[in-house]
């Protein structure tokens, strides 16, 4: 490759390190220019205009050049993040990070796609392979640039002492661990509950996890729940799918077994408030209900928070295509945004795409399992894992039955993950390749047939004034069980394929004039897909009910209204619980003050609210586990923990048959007493000094945090300050109970003014760049924390006005 001009190397290394202030259009400064860079594989010259918020606007001469340049820019802005994603997904962590990650590498390889690649590429569309090849070529071009100019490498590579790898197009679709599926661990937990809670299992499971439509989980014939190795299976699943972390002990050469799993990987309990809130909000409003007569489409995906951001905003222009929005930084294209004609946004649609199968093993040959009365051999794949510091690769085996990879086996039984997301066309989020280029509802709906995973609600709007909703994803048909408990793998419990996409509900220009989804069960009860359900474990419906109320109550809404609704901090569970305190009294002066504070509160969990501070400490840490302990025997209560928020509120509102009403009131007072003591210990005795945001803070933590010194933590971690809301408010701000620090929420917010595209607004967090040396690493976090946005400019004229950097790429 031609040597990089010094001006360009400097521009790439120091790109956008000056924070731009608000500049009137007439005074907009000219973007910084760099010498053209010759890169291999580009067909025609391309220009990138990087705006003042770090968004690259790509202008390419051919369709595939646009994806090439997107890959180049993604690598420039997020190289360490996407390299880590690839390394984790392919099971190559131990190569550069040592033996602590070898077990995780083996399990990551167990959940790689292993089918025919020709068939796989066709599942996404006619040009999916070429798109991926172009994107990967762009990534590799930037990796090659860092080999010539090591100063371009992000600081993580120097800290961890390794170099980025080159990509293959297949990497994009073979890696499947990021699909946001949750049911598998739920089956493990339910089996444990049936084993240990015995006669109380059904009642305990009811309060542990809300199921919708209502169903009573039943054990399958021929499977003893006490044989399910819960701890081992959960560990294996997390080793296969959880994001990597970097504990200090891993760098001492310690083996995996000596390091707690939650230090090596970022574990999220799917039954926790954080786990259940990993979804999104979206809505679309028809022009008859907006102030402009144009549709408005809003979307804010909720994911685990950290640094860098999980989303990357980009704008791709080429002959026949102009798409702008956000996607995963390691994938080509976008999954949320618009193309100048149609707009689209997604939320999780919790179809059940996983099952846990158990097998009887042949006592004479542990590599054979019983299926339909015969011993059937497992398929065994030998993998070589390169481990840093070891002279030869480790040879490990991964076993497969006809249903999927073996996650755990002992002498008597093997346990397998059967997952729709390991099938053809199921690479998470890659299914957007077709729909992001659709031009109307019919094309969009047809393109959604190529969306496999994760299950999503897509809302739609177009410049003709039409709005719509359609869910997407492969939905499993289970003829004789509900998918909520483990089943024998002996042939009695087989999938009957997948539902045709046309069997799922959809809406186009519905009579109300708007559509809202927020991960609730939104399948109409009369629809054939409602029973049996496509899934039973949905998110708490509080966000959806609140948003439907505010959107439905507004006959004429604006872009600004949608922005406000995305930042709404009203908690419906808080309102319902506080309403129960109306007639609760106490002679205890401290309790009386606490009751008065809560009774006078409207349930709005603003960051400056004293009542919100008291309520959240009470509800999450004290009231919910106290209700569970009062409602269940001790052994069952221990397994349930804090319980499902919706179920706990239901028990409080209708205590019979769980407990007498008087006992309910006593539980509320006893737990409130404990919560008051905790809040006073943290914030002082005077409620006038209490604020929810003093406890509830947004800190975006880098994966390397455990191995950073204090000065480095200041550089890599981002403190966005106090934040309002909770897991149950439209502004989803889930937190960990030990210190109330934010764990998950809106990684990205977007409100589109359909047809007046330059009037659209967006925010990413904490920034567009993954390089701590860039001003765009953390510049958006303060805006995000205050509920502010920036313009998602689309027309070339508007882009030119806010551009701060200009890159020219030319064919080599």
Which of 475, 460, 383 minimizes the C-alpha distance to 426? 475
Task: State pLDDT tens for residues 641-667.
Answer: 999 999 999 999 999 999 999 999 999
Which of 415, 416, 424, 412 minimizes the C-alpha distance to 452? 424
Strands 56-59 and 312-318: parallel
Task: State pLDDT tens for residues 158-181.
Answer: 999 999 999 999 999 999 987 767
Task: State pLDDT tens for residues 775-796.
Answer: 999 999 999 999 999 999 999 9
User: Exposed, middle or buried: residue 753 (CB in 10 Å: 0-12, 13-18, 19+)?
Assistant: buried
| pLDDT at residue 109 greater than cutoff 90 | yes
| pLDDT at residue 17 greater than cutoff 70 | no
What's the average model confidence in pLDDT over 186-192?
96
pLDDT band for position 22 (cuts 50, 70, 90) = very low
Task: State pLDDT tens for residues 538-570.
Answer: 999 999 999 999 999 999 999 999 999 999 999
Tell me phi and psi for residue 375, to 5 degrees: -85, 125
pLDDT of residue 12: 53
CA–CA distance, 129 with 137 (Å, rounded to integer): 12
In angstroms, the Cα distances linking 156 to 77, 148, 718 are 13, 18, 16
Instruction: List the CATH code of the domain at 572-604+608-695.
Output: 1.10.1400
| DSSP 8-class letter at 334 | -
Provide the token pair at 730: 């439209």
pLDDT of residue 34: 75
pLDDT band for position 23 (cuts 50, 70, 90) = very low
pLDDT of residue 37: 96
pLDDT band for position 501 (cuts 50, 70, 90) = confident
What's the average model confidence in pLDDT over 509-514?
98
Planar angle of CA 225, 228, 233, nearest 5 degrees: 145
CA–CA distance, 670 with 233 (Å, rounded to integer): 37
Ramachandran class of 55: left when φ > 0, alpha when ψ lies in -120 to 50, beta otherwise: beta
pLDDT of residue 263: 85
pLDDT of residue 249: 78
pLDDT of residue 241: 94
pLDDT of residue 684: 98
- Is the peptide bond preceding residue 187 cis, with omega within 30 degrees of 0? no
Asked if residues 72 and 145 have their Cβ atoms less than 8 Å apart, the reply is no
Domain definitions of the chain by residue range: 572-604+608-695
Of all residues in the chain, the percent with pLDDT exceeding 90 is 89
The more confident residue out of 414 and 261 is 414
Q: Is the dihedral of CA 629, 237, 78, 795 positive or negative?
A: negative
173 by DSSP, 3-state: which?
helix
Which of 253, 455, 500 minimizes the C-alpha distance to 352? 455
pLDDT of residue 508: 98
CA–CA distance, 746 with 737 (Å, rounded to integer): 19
What's the average model confidence in pLDDT over 224-253?
89
Tell me phi and psi for residue 549, to 5 degrees: -70, -45
| DSSP 8-class letter at 598 | H
Q: Using only the alpha carbons of the chain, give its radius of gyration.
A: 26
Range 592-598 contact pairs with CB under 8 angstroms and sequence separation of 24 or more: 593/687, 594/672, 594/675, 594/676, 595/672, 597/687
Residue 767 C-alpha from the chain's centroid? 17
Please list, residue by residue across 242-262, b when 16 or more beta carbons sit within 10 angstroms of its beta carbon and e when fewer do.
bbbbbbebbeeeeebeebebe
Task: State pLDDT tens for residues 195-212.
Answer: 999 999 999 999 999 999
Provide the token pair at 402: 């006809």
CA–CA distance, 291 with 751 (Å, rounded to integer): 14
In angstroms, the Cα distances linking 444 to 313, 317, 341, 441 are 21, 20, 11, 5
pTM of the model: 0.94
pLDDT of residue 29: 55
pLDDT band for position 267 (cuts 50, 70, 90) = confident
Asked if residues 744 and 274 have their Cβ atoms less than 8 Å apart, the reply is yes
3-state secondary structure 257-320: HHCCHHHHEECCCCCCHHHHCCCEEEEEECHHHECCCCCEEEEEEEEECCCCCCCEEEEEEECC
Range list of H helices, 620-703:
624-631, 634-640, 645-653, 661-683, 692-695
Provide the token pair at 698: 């947004």
Q: What is the mean pLDDT of the chain?
A: 93
pLDDT band for position 107 (cuts 50, 70, 90) = very high
Task: State pLDDT tens for residues 467-488.
Answer: 999 999 999 999 999 999 999 9
pLDDT of residue 35: 87
pLDDT of residue 2: 41
What's the average model confidence in pLDDT over 67-76?
99
Task: State pLDDT tens for residues 333-363.
Answer: 999 999 999 999 999 999 999 999 999 999 9
Task: State pLDDT tens for residues 242-257.
Answer: 999 998 877 665 555 5
3-state secondary structure 396-437: EEEEEECCEEEEEECCCEEEEEEEHHHCCCCCCCCCHHHHCC
Task: State pLDDT tens for residues 617-644.
Answer: 999 999 999 999 999 999 999 999 999 9
CA–CA distance, 711 with 707 (Å, rounded to integer): 12
pLDDT of residue 365: 97
């Amino acid at each position: 490759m031609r040597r990089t001009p010094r001006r360009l190397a400097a521009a790439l290394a120091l790109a956008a390190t000056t924070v731009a202030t608000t500049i009137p259009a007439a005074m907009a400064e000219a973007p910084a220019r760099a010498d053209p860079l010759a890169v291999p594989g580009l067909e025609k010259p391309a220009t990138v205009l990087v705006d003042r918020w770090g968004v690259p606007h790509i202008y390419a001469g051919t369709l595939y050049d646009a994806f090439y340049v997107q890959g180049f820019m993604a690598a420039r802005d997020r190289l360490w993040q996407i390299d880590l994603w690839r390394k984790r997904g392919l099971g190559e962590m131990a190569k550069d990070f040592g033996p602590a990650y070898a077990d995780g590498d083996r399990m990551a390889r167990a959940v790689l796609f292993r089918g025919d690649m020709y068939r796989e590429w066709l599942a996404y569309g006619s040009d999916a392979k070429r798109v991926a090849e172009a994107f990967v070529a762009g990534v590799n071009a930037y990796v090659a640039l860092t080999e010539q100019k090591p100063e371009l490498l992000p600081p993580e590579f120097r800290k961890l002492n390794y170099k980025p790898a080159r990509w293959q197009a297949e990497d994009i679709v073979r890696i499947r661990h990021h699909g946001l599926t949750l049911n598998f661990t739920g089956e493990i937990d339910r089996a444990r509950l049936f084993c240990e809670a015995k006669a109380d299992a059904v009642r305990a499971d009811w309060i542990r996890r809300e199921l919708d439509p209502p169903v009573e989980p039943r054990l399958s014939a021929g499977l003893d729940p006490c044989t399910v190795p819960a701890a081992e299976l959960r560990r294996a699943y997390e080793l296969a799918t959880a994001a990597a972390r970097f504990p200090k002990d891993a760098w001492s050469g310690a083996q995996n077994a000596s390091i707690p799993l939650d230090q090596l990987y970022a574990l999220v309990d799917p039954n926790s408030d954080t786990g259940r809130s990993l979804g999104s909000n979206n809505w679309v409003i028809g022009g008859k209900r907006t102030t402009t007569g144009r549709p408005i489409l809003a979307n804010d995906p909720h994911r685990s928070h950290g640094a860098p951001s999980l989303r990357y905003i980009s704008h791709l222009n080429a002959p026949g295509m102009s798409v702008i929005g956000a996607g995963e930084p390691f994938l080509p294209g976008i999954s949320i945004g618009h193309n100048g004609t149609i707009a689209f946004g997604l939320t999780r649609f919790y179809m059940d795409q996983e099952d846990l199968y158990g097998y009887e093993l042949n006592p004479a040959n542990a590599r054979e399992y019983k299926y339909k009365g015969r011993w059937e051999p497992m398929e065994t794949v030998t993998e070589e894992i390169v481990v840093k510091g070891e002279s030869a690769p480790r040879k490990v085996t991964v076993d497969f039955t006809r249903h999927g990879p073996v996650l755990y086996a002992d002498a008597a039984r093997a346990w397998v993950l059967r997952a729709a997301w390991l099938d053809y066309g199921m690479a998470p989020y890659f299914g957007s390749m077709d729909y992001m280029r659709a031009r109307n509802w019919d094309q969009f709906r047809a393109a959604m047939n190529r969306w496999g995973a994760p299950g999503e609600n897509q809302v739609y709007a177009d410049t003709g004034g039409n709005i719509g909703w359609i869910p997407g994803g492969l939905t499993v048909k289970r003829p004789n069980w509900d998918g909520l408990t483990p089943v024998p793998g002996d042939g009695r419990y087989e999938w009957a394929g997948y539902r045709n996409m046309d069997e799922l509900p959809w809406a186009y220009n519905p009579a109300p004039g708007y559509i809202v989804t927020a991960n609730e069960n939104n399948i109409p009860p009369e629809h054939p897909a409602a029973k049996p359900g496509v899934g039973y474990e949905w998110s708490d419906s509080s966000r959806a009910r609140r948003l439907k109320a505010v959107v439905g109550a507004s006959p004429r809404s604006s872009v600004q209204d949608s922005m406000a609704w995305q930042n709404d901090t009203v908690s419906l569970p808080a309102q319902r619980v506080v309403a129960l305190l109306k007639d609760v009294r106490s002679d205890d002066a401290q309790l009386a003050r606490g009751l008065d504070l809560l009774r006078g509160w409207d349930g709005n969990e603003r960051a400056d609210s004293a009542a919100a501070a008291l309520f959240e400490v009470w509800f999450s840490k004290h009231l919910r586990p106290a209700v569970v302990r009062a409602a269940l025997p001790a052994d069952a209560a221990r397994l349930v923990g804090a319980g499902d928020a919706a179920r706990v509120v239901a028990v409080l509102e209708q205590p019979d048959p769980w407990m007498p009403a008087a006992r309910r009131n006593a539980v509320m007072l006893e737990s409130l007493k404990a919560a008051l003591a905790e809040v006073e210990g943290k914030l002082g005795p005077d409620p006038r000094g209490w604020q929810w945001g003093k406890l509830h803070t947004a800190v975006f933590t880098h994966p390397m945090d455990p191995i950073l010194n204090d000065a480095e933590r200041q550089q890599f971690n981002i403190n966005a300050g106090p934040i309002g809301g909770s897991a149950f408010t439209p502004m989803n701000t889930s937190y960990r109970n030990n210190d109330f620090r934010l764990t998950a929420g809106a990684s990205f917010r977007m409100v589109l003014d359909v047809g007046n595209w330059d009037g659209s607004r967006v925010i990413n967090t904490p920034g567009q760049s993954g390089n701590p040396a860039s001003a765009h690493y953390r510049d958006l976090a303060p805006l995000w924390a205050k509920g502010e946005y920036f313009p998602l400019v689309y027309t070339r004229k508007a882009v030119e006005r806010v551009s701060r950097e200009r890159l020219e790429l030319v064919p080599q």
